Homo-oligomer: A and B are copies of this chain.
Amino acid sequence: MTIPDALAELSTLLGDRLSRSKSDLDLHGRSETHFAPTPPDAVAYPETTEEVQALARICARHGCPMVGWGAGTSLEGHGLAVRGGVVVDFARMNAVLEVNASDMDCRVQPGITREALNTELRATGLFFPVDPGANASLGGMAATRASGTTAVRYGTMRDNVLGMKVVLADGRVIRTGSRARKSSAGYDLTGLMVGSEGTLGLVTELTLRLYGQPEAISSAICAFPDMGSAVDAVIATIQMCVPMARIEFVDQATVEVFNAAAGADLPAAPHLMVEFHGSDASVAEDARRFGEIAGEFGATGFRWATLAEERNKLWKMRHDAYWSILQSRPGATAIVTDICVPLSKLAEAVEETRADIAGSFIPGPILGHVGDGNFHAILMARRDSAEEMDEAKRLSGRLADRALRLGGTVTGEHGIGMGKLGYMEREHGAGWSVMGDIKRALDPQDLMNPGKLVPPA
């Protein structure tokens, strides 16, 4: 009953789709942020639910950890096999299985990326809106309860996953949810699995809610005299129920990176980036109302993008922000914070964070999905400087404290992985022990992504 025994059987099951090549192990042992590389013992590339089930049974028999893997873009070391074992990469399970245009839903395999899904949907007139910037997989997005720029309008993965097929630690396969729009038939297992970060099971299918592609889309970026005005403009916009499809804040440091990395020529000031979806008339009206509100808070230099090409350029700049910011400080690694607070506390949270970082010796551009009360500071520390790493962690801890003090959460969308484990007790109190109870009930051997999310056994 050892990991090598499991790998021998898995190799019989999967043939050369069980990889032990160094490059594969290294690729699946790295994380996007500051966590130390941790290569697994093997990488599996299953092609069917049945194979995942067989894999889970083998791993259960031999006590071998199983860690799901989508696109590897998560930011808290979610996918690192910290107790060894096998990483289950869903790259070969990336098909769209069914699109129901009249019910506006679809069934997909977990390995498909959001960009590939939307490319496949293009001709149907429908789209899947959740957009974490990175070209993440739908399985990974469900596992982290991802959201992103469009959550203010379309919700998060919590709202947009209707059902799943999941392989549990003991090899049971369950189907959660249904294609009905609502149900009261027992515990919400879909909701339990969304955000469980692969610690309760491996997702092999997802049923997703789709939306009609908007007739008209219009985007804009505009500058504000200071951070406070930009944030206040957001709060006013949301409170006046202007139906924003996106409303993103980027601080001056981020804008300077845009100018340097993406060849933009924006004034060195905090900006909002916005988007409207609807009919030609409604988009025009929403834009007008937003312009009016933003104007009251001193917005200037509006640049509108209505052509797809211009819009794509704008949002590519935003989506690449994380990488561009990292590149702006060679040798640095990122500690990404992700707090989310009630809207009425947003100005306070952002302002305190700005002051905190200004008083520190490491840089931390601030940007985020402010329509939800969610923002990030990308704290950049040199990996080889213990002093800088400590300082980044201190700032990150202060952000977490701030979020909790203001009635919010330490992670609006990135999840716990290992990076936020230390805050779980404070955020959830006894609730965290309940998460541990649930974990033990479904995975008593602690084989599904061990070392993440729940209290250490």
Is there an interface contact between B195 and A186, defined as CB atoms closer than 8 Å?
Answer: yes
Chain B residues closer than 8 Å to A411, beta-carbon distance? 183-185
Please give me the residue from chain B that is nearest to A176 by CB atom: B431
In this assembly, does A158 line the interface, its C-beta being within 8 Å of a C-beta of chain B? yes
Chain B residues closer than 8 Å to A196, beta-carbon distance? 187
Chain B residues closer than 8 Å to A440, beta-carbon distance? 441
Given A158-B191, A174-B429, A431-B175, A146 and B102 contact (CB-CB distance below 8 Å): no
Is there an interface contact between B239 and A174, defined as CB atoms closer than 8 Å?
Answer: no
Is there an interface contact between A407 and B180, defined as CB atoms closer than 8 Å?
Answer: yes
In this assembly, does A8 line the interface, its C-beta being within 8 Å of a C-beta of chain B? no
Please give me the residue from chain B that is nearest to A404 by CB atom: B178
Most chain B CB within 10 A, of A176, A415, A433, A435, is at A435
The bracket for how many chain A residues form the interface is 35 or more
In this assembly, does A173 line the interface, its C-beta being within 8 Å of a C-beta of chain B? yes
Contact of A412 among B156, B183, B189 (CB under 8 A): B183
In this assembly, does A222 line the interface, its C-beta being within 8 Å of a C-beta of chain B? no
Contact of A158 among B168, B182, B186 (CB under 8 A): B182
Most chain B CB within 10 A, of A344, A433, A434, is at A434
Question: Number of copies of this chain in the oligomer?
Answer: 2
Most chain B CB within 10 A, of A100, A144, A189, A373, is at A189
Is there an interface contact between A180 and B341, defined as CB atoms closer than 8 Å?
Answer: yes
Chain B residues closer than 8 Å to A194, beta-carbon distance? 188
Contact of A188 among B151, B158, B181, B403 (CB under 8 A): B158
Given A158-B191, A344-B103, A437-B442, A410 and B172 contact (CB-CB distance below 8 Å): no
Contact of A192 among B191, B343, B374, B430 (CB under 8 A): B191
Chain B residues closer than 8 Å to A427, beta-carbon distance? 178, 185
Contact of A372 among B182, B188, B342 (CB under 8 A): B182
Is there an interface contact between B413 and A182, defined as CB atoms closer than 8 Å?
Answer: yes
In this assembly, does A6 line the interface, its C-beta being within 8 Å of a C-beta of chain B? no
In this assembly, does A123 line the interface, its C-beta being within 8 Å of a C-beta of chain B? no
Contact of A438 among B185, B430, B441 (CB under 8 A): B441
A–B Cβ pairs within 8 angstroms, 14 of them: A102-B235, A145-B183, A146-B184, A172-B433, A180-B403, A180-B412, A181-B374, A182-B412, A183-B411, A183-B412, A184-B411, A188-B191, A188-B194, A191-B192
Which residues on A are within 8 Å of B, measured CB to CB?
A: 100, 102-103, 105, 144-147, 151, 156, 158-159, 168, 172-176, 178-189, 191-192, 194-196, 200, 212, 235, 239, 241, 338, 340-344, 372-374, 403, 407-416, 420, 423-424, 427-435, 437-438, 440-442, 453-454
